[in-house]
């Protein structure tokens, strides 16, 4: 059986979160799939706003470049803002799937309306922006926050996980939504238990993205190289961006 190699990129530099994401991805991966969890060498420890996303996107592009060079079959962007998604698709030949788009797509297949539970209140606005961008605005009932920073999910106390659980229970009751999408890569390990407890589908984008990339690869589909997603036009980049000048990648 051929082994598929899927690179799961955590765009922040938290090794603990990279591990949580990698474990969640491996839990659902098929036996013939190798999951390669990575994060950038430099950047932000958590992504909670547009500034963080811009820096995280550079880390994504770096890791996609290295992954392409190493011959991986597909890439997952494991941050709910999907930072750098379209730019990453320009660099890649295989599929590149973001966890927000994966979770939203999956949610529309199992419910007519879903709600999202995310981290800090400012990320609620980012989630609404993505819903509009992806065309899922009319599928989303509401976006809620646990009002805690991303790294509270990795502090080992379980407090943030309890807040996620409470917010999901409230969302189900208030919104009468058919499904809940978890709005952070650091929540990846909570979906299965919450689905069971709430008796509605609770969707984690990391696992959703793994199954989507496997499906695309199984169908022999990669990223289109026609039009805007063609490889970037070659030009001499300078300074820290020389990594993108490698002719084998461009």
The binding site for ligand 2AL (CB under 6 A) comprises: 12, 46-48, 79-81, 118-119, 123, 150, 183-186
- Residue carrying the six token digits 């943030």: 160
Asked if 153 and 159 touch (Cβ cutoff 8 Å), the reply is no
**Nearer CB in complex with ligand 2AL: 9/79:** 79
Q: Are 161 and 193 in contact (CB under 8 A)?
A: no
As beta bridge partners, residue 98 has 77
| Least spacing, CB of residue 120 vs ligand 2AL, in Å | 7
Of the candidates 90, 46, 37, the one whose C-alpha atom is nearest the C-alpha of residue 65 is: 90
Strand partners, 38: 9
Quick one: 119 or 217, whose CB is closer to ligand 2AL?
Answer: 119
Counting other chains too, the contacts that 135-139 makes at CB distance below 8 Å and 24 or more residues apart are 136/104, 136/108, 139/104, 139/107, 139/108, 139/112, 139/113, 139/114
Pairwise CA distance, residues 137 & 131, whole Å: 5
**CB of 168: closest distance to ligand 2AL in angstroms?**
15
Cβ-based nearer residue to ligand 2AL, 6 or 209: 209
Nearest distance from C-beta of residue 219 to ligand 2AL, angstroms: 27
Give the nearer residue to ligand 2AL in terms of CB position, either 7 or 217: 7
Smallest gap, in angstroms, from Cβ of residue 191 to ligand 2AL? 13
In angstroms, give the least distance from the CB of 74 to ligand 2AL.
19
First CA to last CA across the chain, in angstroms?
30
Tell me the closest approach of the beta carbon of residue 52 to ligand 2AL, in angstroms.
7
Return all residues near 133 (Cβ < 8 A) that are at least 6 apart: none
Shortest Cβ 243–ligand 2AL spacing (Å)? 22
- Which residues share a beta bridge with 142? 115
Per the rule left: phi > 0, alpha: psi between -120 and 50, beta: everything else, 158 is: left
- Nearer CB in complex with ligand 2AL: 161/217: 161
* Nearer to ligand 2AL (CB atom), residue 118 or residue 189: 118
Q: Which residue lies nearer to ligand 2AL by CB, 4 or 47?
A: 47
Burial of 242 (0-12, 13-18, 19+ CB in 10 A): exposed
């Amino acid at each position: 059986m051929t082994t598929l190699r899927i690179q799961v990129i955590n765009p922040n530099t938290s090794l603990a979160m990279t591990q949580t994401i990698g474990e969640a991805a491996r839990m659902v991966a098929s036996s013939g799939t190798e999951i390669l969890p990575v994060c950038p060498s430099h950047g932000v420890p958590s992504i909670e706003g547009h500034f963080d996303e811009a820096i995280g996107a550079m880390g994504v592009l770096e890791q996609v470049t290295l992954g392409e060079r190493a011959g991986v079959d597909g890439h997952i962007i494991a941050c709910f803002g999907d930072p750098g998604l379209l730019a990453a698709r320009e660099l890649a030949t295989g599929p590149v799937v973001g966890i927000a788009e994966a979770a939203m797509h999956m949610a529309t297949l199992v419910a007519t309306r879903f709600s999202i539970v995310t981290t800090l209140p400012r990320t609620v606005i980012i989630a609404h922006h993505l819903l509009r961008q992806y065309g899922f605005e009319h599928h989303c009932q509401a976006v809620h926050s646990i009002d805690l920073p991303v790294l509270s999910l990795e502090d080992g106390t379980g407090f943030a996980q309890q807040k996620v659980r409470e917010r999901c229970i409230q969302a189900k009751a208030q919104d009468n939504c058919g499904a809940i999408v978890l709005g952070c890569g650091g929540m990846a390990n909570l979906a299965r238990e919450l689905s069971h407890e709430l008796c509605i589908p609770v969707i984690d984008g990391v696992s959703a993205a793994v199954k989507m990339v496997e499906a695309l690869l199984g169908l022999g589909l990669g990223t289109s190289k026609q039009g805007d997603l063609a490889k970037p036009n070659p030009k001499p980049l300078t300074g820290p961006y020389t990594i993108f000048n490698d002719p084998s990648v461009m």
